[in-house]
Amino acid sequence: MSMVQTVESAILAQTRRSLRTLLAVPAARAKGLARVEDIEIAGPAGPLRARFYEAEGAGEQPLLVYFHGGGFVCGDIDTHDSVCSWLAQSSQGRVLSVGYRLAPEARFPAQLEDTRAAVAWAFDNAARLGATPGKLALGGDSAGAYLASTMALEINRAQPGAIVLQVLLYPLIHVQDSLWADEELRNFRFLGRVACLYIARSLGAEALPSLLDVDVSAAPPTIVAGGGPMDPVRNDVKAFVEHLRKAGVRVSERKYPVLMHGGLNFTAYSKTATSALQEVGALVRSELAG
């Protein structure tokens, strides 16, 4: 390992520890949950950590399987514990939060392989968890939203209607440097560009497919929530929403001008994060009750 790689590894390890300290706050978990249970799911390279949340009085509705953000290099079910607990509580339903292998230790498409295994497990076990069998909702934030959307398309192409809803929180749409470079100065996206360069290099996935370039006609009804000027993906999200609508996909969009990218994790510190998750959860409840 070169000196540069050693330094990068040390920085990444410290970043992961810092995020866990900042975000894995047990007191930030939503109240009104009947059940929270840690689960292991068999993955293609070993067990995947998962956590199941059930709201008090949850009725029978599709299970929401959620994949955390963190640029494919950070995050886990603990850093996103509060996010998923608030979504379960406010949707009055059930959420299964699933971890996946991170880069650079696991190169792309390891993340998609883990996502695929988790979704297959959720289909097999939805009824046991009290949810509607045969149908799922998929969701995630940032990189996790990319995984959820990619998997929703894959499944619905093979089995139309199996994924009934996707919930995308400030989704990462692509890591193509040419698109980020074109808007770097005009839209103040230089920090986002640097982040995406690192993500692509860590994944070994410079050719990671852009969601703007794929056929999205099989996508389920979609909830999209994003931030304002401090959210570097906002322009891509706007383009993706238009891409979905042109394909005939129904989209419910919510914008939070003061929300920064990753800001929904800060429920321990921000009323904006809590209220946004409550609103998104209410939309999920409405969609899944239909």
CATH of the domain at 145: 3.40.50.1820
**Alpha-carbon distance 138 to 95, whole Å?**
9
In-domain check, residue 11: no
Q: Residues with catalytic annotation? A: 142, 231, 261
Residues near 20 by beta carbon (within 8 Å), at least 6 away in sequence = 76, 78, 79
The pLDDT value recorded for residue 31 is 94
Average of per-residue pLDDT values in the chain: 90
Please count the structural domains in the chain. 1
**Alpha-carbon distance 125 to 132, whole Å?**
10
The pTM of this model reads 0.93
Sign of CA dihedral 17, 22, 24, 25: positive
In-domain check, residue 263: yes
Measured at the CA of 66, the angle between CA 61 and CA 71, to 5 degrees, comes to: 165
Domain span at residue 43 reads: 19-289
**Quick one: what percent of the chain has pLDDT higher than 70?**
89
The pLDDT value recorded for residue 49 is 98
Measured at the CA of 157, the angle between CA 221 and CA 245, to 5 degrees, comes to: 35
In-domain check, residue 210: yes
In-domain check, residue 6: no
In-domain check, residue 181: yes
In-domain check, residue 2: no
**Alpha-carbon distance 53 to 74, whole Å?**
22
pLDDT digits (tens), the chain, 290 positions: 555 567 778 888 998 999 999 999 999 999 989 999 999 999 999 999 999 999 999 999 999 999 999 989 999 999 999 999 999 999 999 999 999 999 999 999 999 999 999 999 999 999 999 999 999 999 999 999 999 999 999 999 999 999 999 999 999 998 765 544 444 444 444 444 456 666 777 777 556 789 999 999 999 999 999 998 878 888 889 999 999 999 999 999 999 999 998 999 999 999 999 999 999 999 999 999 87
In-domain check, residue 13: no
